[in-house]
Amino acid sequence: MNKKILLLLIIFSTLLFNQCSKKMVNGKKELIEIIKTVNSPDSNIIVNIILFDGKVFYEINYKNKPLINRSKLGFLFKNAFPLNENFSISNVEYNQFDETWTQPWGEVKNIRNNYREMKIELQETKDLKRELIIVFRAFNDGVGFRYEFPEQENIKDFEIMDELTEFVFSDDHSAWWIPAYRDNRYEYLFKKSKFSKIDTVHTPLTIETTNGLYLCVHEANLTDYSSMTLASGENNTLQCDLVPWSDGVKVKASVPHKTPWRTIQIAEKPGDLITSYLVLNLNEPNKLEDVSWIKPAKYIGIWWGMHIGTQTWGSGDKHGATTQNAKEYIDFAAKHNFPGLLIEGWNVDWDGTWWDNGDIFKFTETHPDFDMEEVSKYAADKGVKIIGHHETGANIDNYEAQVEDAFAYYKKYGINTIKTGYVGIRANKTEWHHGQYMVRHYRKIVELAAKNKIMLDVHEPIKDTGIRRTYPNMMSREGARGCEYDAWASDGGNPPDYTTIIPFTRLLSGPFDFTPGIFNIFLGEQKPDNRANTTLAKQLAHYVVIYSPLQMAADLPENFEGNPAFKFIKDVPADWQDTKVIHAKIGDYITIARQDRNSEEWYIGSVTDENFRELEMDLSFLDKNKLYIAEIYADGPKADWENNPLDINIVKCFVNFETLLKLKLAAGGGQAIRIRKVNKNDNLGSIPNYEDIK
C-alpha cells in the first residue's frame, strides 16, 4: 500500500508541475509558452517539452545543468504543408514502467527496463488540423523520443523530405565520428574533433562534454524508415539528416506510422556507456516463440586465405572452397571443438572482379570442385555446423528473387547460420545502403531468416539499433573496419588505438563481427606491406573486449596448430552472464571483465593504444569463499606491436577476491585472462600464488 501511495503522489506532483504556462509579450502579439516535464526515475535527468508560439521544442537537463538546449521538432513533406507549427496540445499522458527481462543471448543475461514516459498529443490549430504524437521516455541512463503519426482523416500517404529534429548542445563538445555519405559505408577510421569541425556523420556518435560527461546520440528500433545521420550546424547544433532515396525523398510512409527512437545516452564515466542498454530497451520484446535453435558460437572459416592471397573466392589453382579443403577445415574444427565453419566462395560466379557480379550470383549452384551434400554430411558426422555465405554484390533484385530458394537449400543441408554480404557502392547501383529502401530489405531478410530458423551475420549492414531484442536470430554484423583491413588496406590497416575506440563508438550499437585471432602477425610474403598492428596477447584480448555472439578465429589453421596461445581462443565463450568495464579511456585503453553464462568462469581482456600501460584491477567480483586459478596471457617483457609482437608470457596462478592484478600492456598490446575454479585435474603443487609471479 505504501508503494502505491508513493507512486500516486509522484504522478500527482508531476501533473501539477506540468501545468506550467506563461504569457510572453513580443510587441503587440501575445505569445504563450507551455512547458511539460518528465523526469528519469532517479530525477537526475529532466526533459522539458515546450510549446511556444505554436511550435514544439524539447530540452534536457542533467543534475540541474543544461545538457541539450531548446531544440526543434517537426517535419517537412513533399507536396504538403510542413508539420512544425500552429500546434496546440490536445492531450498529455504519463506512464511509469519497471521490469527486468532476460536476453536469450547477450553481453548480460538480465536487463532492467525502467523509465518514466510522457506522451504528448499535438494538433494543428488551422489548415488541415493534422495530429502528431511525440513520446519521450526518461531513463536513468538517458532519453529516447519518437514521433507517431496516428490514423486521421487528413493524412493517408505521405513523403518526408526532412525531419527537423535538432540536438542543440550546451557547448562545443568533442566527438568521435566517421563520415556519412561515403562509398565505403561505415568502414572508416574514427576521428575526434569539436562539433564545429565535423561535417555530416553516422551514429552512434560518442561525445565527451566540456564538463566531463559522456554521451552517445543514436537511434533505436529503425523500422521502415531512413537511417539518421547528423549534420553539424551553428551554435553547437547537430541536425537530423535522413539518408534519402535516389529520388530525394527521405521517407515514404502511410498512417499509422512510428519513427525510430532518437536516443541520447548519458554517463559520467565512458565505461558506463558500454553497460547502458537503453537502445535495447527501446525495441519491442522478442517476437520469436521458440529460440532454442539460436545459439552463440565460435567459428573458423575458409576466408582469411582469400584476404592474404593464399586462396581465392573464384576458380583456379588456389580456389579455397573445395570439397577437400572444406574437409580439412572440418577436421580442424572438430579436433579443437569449434562448432562452426564458414565457407565462402562455394557457389558459382565469383570469377573476375566478383564485387561487380551482383547481377549473376547464384545461391543454389555449387562450384564444380565443391560438393555441398558431401561436405555437409561430413561436417554433421564430425559435429560441426556449416555457416553458409550469401554475397549479393549489393544487387538486391537478384538476391530477393532467389533468397527463399536459397534459404530452403541451406535448410536441406542442415545449415542454420548465414553470413550475408552487400559489397557495393550503392544497392542496385542506385540506393544508399542506409536509406529506407535498404532498411526494408535488411528487415525482410531478418524476418524470412527467422521463419526458416536461420541465424544471421550481416556484413555491409544497416547499423544495429537494437532489433536483436525483437529478432534474436539477428546475431552479429560488421558495420565498421574489421581485421580484414589489416590484410589489404592501403593505409596500413587498423592502427593500434583502433580497438580502444570502437568499444565506445561502433560497439555501442550492438555486436561486431570483427573477426579477431590473427597469430601470423606479419602475414608473410604474400602481403609484405600489411600486417596486424597488435601484439599476440592483444589479439586474444579482443575476444573479450569486442563483443559478438558469433566469434571467429580468423587465422589459418596451420598458424593456430601447436601454438599454446590458441588455448585461450578455444576456452573463451561467446555468451555472457555479466559484463563489467574496469578501465576506460576512449582512444587510450580499456579493460572489460565478462562472466560466462554457462559456468562460474570470468574472462578479462585489456588493450592499449600505441603506448605502454600499467593498470591495476581488483577481483572483488569473485566469490569470497572460493579459490580460483587465473590463466594469464600477457605481453612478454620485450613485446611491442611494431618489432616484437609475438613475445607472450602464459602463466597459471592462484587468485581470489582479494587479489589485485597488475596489468602490464606493451605498446600496442594487451592481456587476456581466464579465471576458473580449481578442479580435480589441477596439479595444485605446481601452481604459484599470483603474488609470487607478478
CA-to-CA distance for 445 and 286, rounded, in angstroms? 17
CA-to-CA distance for 64 and 433, rounded, in angstroms? 40
Single out the residue in 542, 575, 608 at which a domain terminates: 575
User: Both 270 and 339 in a single domain?
Assistant: no
Which alpha helices (H) appear in 283-413, and where do they start and end? 304-308, 323-335, 372-381, 396-412
User: Both 442 and 389 in a single domain?
Assistant: yes
User: Both 276 and 303 in a single domain?
Assistant: no
User: Both 253 and 330 in a single domain?
Assistant: no
**In 3D, which of 144, 164, 172, 171 has the Cα closest to residue 264?**
144
User: What is the reported pLDDT for 27?
Assistant: 53
CA-to-CA distance for 274 and 580, rounded, in angstroms? 9
- Strand positions, DSSP E, 78-130: 80-83, 87-102, 110-124
Q: 473-508 in b/e burial notation, b at 16+ Cβ within 10 A?
A: bbbbbbbbbbbbbbbeeeeebbbbbbbbbbbbbbbb
Q: Which domain holds residue 500?
A: 297-575
Mean pLDDT comparison of 70-74, 623-627, 684-688, highest-scoring range: 70-74
- pLDDT category of residue 666 using cuts at 50, 70 and 90: very high
User: What is the reported pLDDT for 682?
Assistant: 81
Beta-carbon neighbour count of residue 362 at 10 Å? 14
Q: Is the peptide bond before 256 cis (omega within 30 degrees of 0)?
A: yes
In a domain, 244, yes or no: yes
In a domain, 290, yes or no: no
Segment 502-513 shows an average pLDDT of: 98
User: Both 415 and 362 in a single domain?
Assistant: yes
pLDDT digits (tens, 9 = 90+) for 527-567: 889 999 999 999 999 999 999 999 999 999 999 999 999 99
Find the range with the poorest average confidence among 8-12, 423-427, 616-620, 683-687. Answer: 8-12
pLDDT at 669 over 50: yes
pLDDT at 12 over 50: no
Segment 667-672 shows an average pLDDT of: 98
CATH code assigned at 44: 2.70.98.10
pLDDT at 19 over 80: no
User: Both 251 and 395 in a single domain?
Assistant: no
Q: How far is CA 172 from CA 45, 64, 168, 202, in A?
A: 21, 19, 10, 18
CA-to-CA distance for 41 and 650, rounded, in angstroms? 46
**In 3D, which of 26, 270, 257 has the Cα closest to residue 132?**
257
CATH code assigned at 530: 3.20.20.70
- pLDDT category of residue 10 using cuts at 50, 70 and 90: very low
- pLDDT category of residue 692 using cuts at 50, 70 and 90: confident
More confident residue, 17 or 486: 486
pLDDT digits (tens, 9 = 90+) for 138-178: 999 999 999 999 999 989 999 999 999 999 999 999 999 99
pLDDT at 14 over 90: no
Segment 118-140 shows an average pLDDT of: 96
Segment 15-32 shows an average pLDDT of: 54
User: What is the reported pLDDT for 336?
Assistant: 98
By the 8 A CB rule, do 1 and 25 touch? no
Single out the residue in 549, 575, 601 at which a domain terminates: 575
Cell of 300: 573458423
pLDDT at 412 over 90: yes
**In 3D, which of 490, 494, 457 has the Cα closest to residue 473?**
457
| Catalytic residue list | 484
pTM of structure: 0.95
Cell of 556: 589459418
Cell of 407: 534459404
User: What is the reported pLDDT for 416?
Assistant: 97
Beta-carbon neighbour count of residue 183 at 10 Å? 8
User: What is the reported pLDDT for 693?
Assistant: 81
Largest Cα span, the chain: 91
User: Both 164 and 304 in a single domain?
Assistant: no
Single out the residue in 543, 575, 607 at which a domain terminates: 575
In a domain, 313, yes or no: yes
pLDDT above 70 covers what percent of the chain? Answer: 96
**DSSP states of 539-608 as a string?**
HHHHHHHS--SEEE--S-HHHHTT-TTHHHHHH--S-EEEEEEEEEETTTEEEEEEEETTSS-EEEEEEE
User: What is the reported pLDDT for 79?
Assistant: 94
Find the range with the poorest average confidence among 237-251, 388-402, 453-467, 513-527. Answer: 513-527
